[in-house]
Amino acid sequence: MVIVYGDSPSPDQDSSPTASTVLCTKATVAGVRTRPFSAKVAFPLVSGLHELCGSRSLIYRSRGWIRSCRGSERELFLWLRSYLAAHRTVTMPHSYPALSAEQKKELSDIALRIVAPGKGILAADESVGSMAKRLSQIGVENTEENRRLYRQVLFSADDRVKKCIGGVIFFHETLYQKDDNGVPFVRTIQDKGIVVGIKVDKGVVPLAGTDGETTTQGLDGLSERCAQYKKDGADFAKWRCVLKISERTPSALAILENANVLARYASICQQNGIVPIVEPEILPDGDHDLKRCQYVTEKVLAALYKALSDHHVYLEGTLLKPNMVTPGHACPIKYSPEEIAMATVTALRRTVPPAVPGVTFLSGGQSEEEASLNLNAINRCPLPRPWALTFSYGRALQASALNAWRGQQDNAGAATEEFIKRAEVNGLAAQGKYEGSGEDGGAAAQSLYIANHAY
């Protein structure tokens, strides 16, 4: 908006404006013509204009001093203030360079290492409560030692995983545990050339004013925790937000709230040299079809990247962990991997900027084999795909290994082999090179769906 007032300058006056200025013989405010008013009124108006929206105007003095207006100065000023308050969106955004070139390069390099061709992420960040559910399925007590032994099964995999695992997400407890030889798990992973990550959110909590929707807590003290995790070997982080599909959800409030929470988390991580993985998971609960999931996914991702832009997040130093576009678990229609792939890639192409290095899909309760086949189809989709499309699987990498282990030390080797097998399969799927196992049964084909799943 430009506020215009006064007479045209005379040839001997300085007429080089310092801001975009329009001159006319009578005052004009946003297209509303008013009587000329005095400099006594003009200066506060200009000051108010600058304070409210950052705009500046240039005052010209005519050959004779502008005559004082006989009235309505107060009304004009109040009107201007109200108008600007209602049109603040016209404010030109300012750039706040928060990251140096060196910081940006570090973040970008880390992200690219994680999603190098054929590589994905092992999500081993289950909380103590989630591990209790996993271990109870195989009759193992949920103790710290048993959790350590199980994680050791995964982390002791040999160098075959170097070509298919680019990152491992740790839980806080695991970050400080050691193997049987006293070697920290962090060093074990780093020695394989794999990037260490850490789950930093504190879980979901109810979002007041919604139909059972949630937001995610954990922003308090996050910067200090990230700084410490960086010192302790973590180079990337994960934060999960959850949305669900029903007749009334996700609401606009839940979409906006979770998008902004993810953006705030991402900004804080980058300030501490940590690559943020943003995870806006849309749960598979419900009977919605593929089209409905695609529509909701697009709305959620569009809101997320708007929020990331608003918070000045450096996209080249981030990764996205979304759900694949799949029908609800109770949907009676069965879709092929090719249909799921087309819907998923279409949703991404409509919402995710190509500056993002990689998309690391969550498995969302799919069976191990189903998650691999769908990922493979996504990487064979004929649509252009400017990002690395890979995996960040928890259950879909671990289910067979967990069943093989069953808490018995004698089974550790066989369990590790099961994990390596699934890692290699998904490494191929991330390149569109997996041909399928040809097995309709077995542990890999068992559904891993958990209603209203929480970590």
Number of CB atoms found within 10 A of residue 108's CB = 18
Amino acid, res. 168: V
Query: pLDDT value at position 433?
Result: 98
Using CA atoms, how far residue 163 sits from 69, 194, 420, in Å, is 78, 10, 11
Among the options 73, 213, 257, 279, which is catalytic?
Answer: 279
Among the options 73, 119, 321, 418, which is catalytic?
Answer: 321
Query: Does 299 or 55 have the greater pLDDT score?
Result: 299
Q: Is the pLDDT of residue 10 over 80?
A: no
pLDDT by residue (tens digit) across 83-98? 656 655 445 566 666 8
The CATH T-level fold of domain 200-336+346-361 is TIM Barrel (3.20.20)
Interacting residues of 271 by C-beta distance below 8 A, sequence separation 6+ = 98, 99, 223, 226
pLDDT by residue (tens digit) across 312-361? 999 999 999 999 999 999 999 999 999 999 999 999 999 999 999 999 99
Query: pLDDT value at position 98?
Result: 80
**pLDDT confidence bin for 73, thresholds 50/70/90:** low
Query: pLDDT value at position 437?
Result: 72
Query: pLDDT value at position 375?
Result: 99
Q: Is 244 a catalytic residue?
A: no
Q: Is the pLDDT of residue 30 over 50?
A: no
Q: Is 192 a catalytic residue?
A: no
Q: Is the pLDDT of residue 40 over 70?
A: no
pLDDT-above-90 percentage for the chain: 74
This prediction's pTM: 0.80
Using CA atoms, how far residue 260 sits from 179, 305, 306, in Å, is 38, 10, 9
pLDDT by residue (tens digit) across 260-295? 999 999 999 999 999 999 999 999 999 999 999 999
Asked if the peptide bond before residue 250 counts as cis, ω within 30 degrees of 0, the response is yes
Ordered by start, the domain boundaries in the chain are 123-194+394-435, 200-336+346-361
